[in-house]
Structure 1
């Protein structure tokens, strides 16, 4: 099992990044690939989880070890698969996620794509009281600030990333208008904003 991959970031898409290591390009699916875009053509270290199925081997990537730990815990929940767990991690309000689990807030959890009431209740049942090994400061997240620069291409890419994460066209349409009122200079910034708006709907 791989722990992490260190190499040169050569490509970023709405669903995955490509990291080149010793002449091989590794396709790594990520909750928010665009957060790595500032490191294009530079060396990056991405923690990974390898999912093996009969007809597919997929690498899922994480920005740090804590995010990977939370992902693995989500995978242990009945009804949560690799893609569903990734979609849950896309919103970087990890403190909100942890608090929802610890306080039996199933309604909060149903805001994630593919998570219904039954699955939300299962998440609480399986993970409540079992997230204590996550770093407290990491779970609380960090404040994000961005320069105001026009970027419609970035909005389009952010909306594509939402589609990849499993949000419906109706849900995406609800936030697209709000994003047009905001000015950011990266796709990553718009995607983070969109995910925050999704949790408020």
Structure 2
């Protein structure tokens, strides 16, 4: 119904903002911690999702289309309502969510307030075939779901980081931050990946 709202930012609060457009103030719920850096009075553009129920009409807003698309996929999972969907996107970026789903890392997703381990596992099952992982397929260091990674040193390093207590998502994100990760041996790559986790 409303794809986005462009207007003046009138006020902000944790988890929401009011944007004025043509004399109307839209109260928009947003992921906590995703407030605008520029402050009150600036012109903003918020991608929106209108949630309609018998007893409620709410507007949810996001800074990027990617966040909006991820939110709509999240609330499409049975048992995940808009508040939990917002909570997931306040806890994880879209990128982190994709990595957690690809690496079957329910532990990271379960950090979301109001979700829990069972909900995290269900979310992974339902989102695995729906999220767009194209950005990862173009990179040479990532392959998930228990498959052998393209380079043995990357797989060994990922397992090493997990054995040190890091989640699978944290391990893969650290390795991805190392330039030309596949060119290093496991020992060197582990040292470099550890510096990315500090």
TM-score tier by shorter-chain length is 0.5 to 0.7
1:20–1:26 Cα contact (<8 Å) kept: yes
1:16 and 1:33 in contact (8 A); partners too: no
Deviation of the 1:120 alpha carbon: 1.0
Q: Which consecutive unaligned segments of at least 5 residues does structure 1 have?
A: 138-201
- Provide the secondary structure at the position in 2 that maps to 1:20: strand
Q: Spell out the pairing of 1:43-192 with structure 2 (5 A cutoff).
A: 43-132=43-132, 136=135
Asked whether the 8 Å contact 1:66–1:135 carries over to 2, the reply is no
Label 1:64 to 1:116 Cα distance change in 2 as closer, same or farther (>3 A): same
Q: 1:65 to 1:34 in 2, by over 3 A?
A: closer
| Counterparts of 1:10 and 1:135, CA distance in 2 | 37
Q: Distance in 2 between matches of 1:102 and 1:73?
A: 15
Displacement after TM superposition at 1:136 (Å): 3.3
**Rg larger in structure:** 2
**Structure 2 partner of 1:179:** none
TM-score normalised by L of structure 1: 0.63
Q: Which has the higher contact order (CA 8 A, sep 6+)?
A: 1
RMSD: 2.1
Q: In the aligned structure 2, how far is the partner of 1:113 from the partner of 1:23?
A: 36
Deviations 1:81-134 (A, max 9, x none): 0010001101353322111111221111111111122211111111113211x7
Residue 59 and residue 135 in structure 1: after superposition, are their counterparts in 2 closer, same or farther (change >3 A)? Answer: farther
Any conservation in 1 of the 2:9–2:43 contact (CA below 8 Å)?
Answer: yes
What is residue 178 of structure 2 aligned with on the other side? none
CA-to-aligned-CA distance 1:9-50 (integer Å, 9 cap, x gap): 000112310000110100000103662151421211000000
User: Aligned pair in 2 of structure 1 residues 109, 49: CA closer, same or farther (>3 Å)?
Assistant: same
User: TM-score with structure 2 length normalisation?
Assistant: 0.64
Distance 1:34 1:131, change over 3 A: closer
Q: Deviations over 1:120-172 (max 9, x none)?
A: 1111111113211x7739xxxxxxxxxxxxxxxxxxxxxxxxxxxxxxxxxxx
Whole-angstrom distance in 1 between the partners of 2:33 and 2:26: 14
The CA distance in 1 between the partners of 2:20 and 2:93, in whole Å, is 30
Corresponding residue SS for 1:87: helix
SS of residue paired to 2:104:
coil
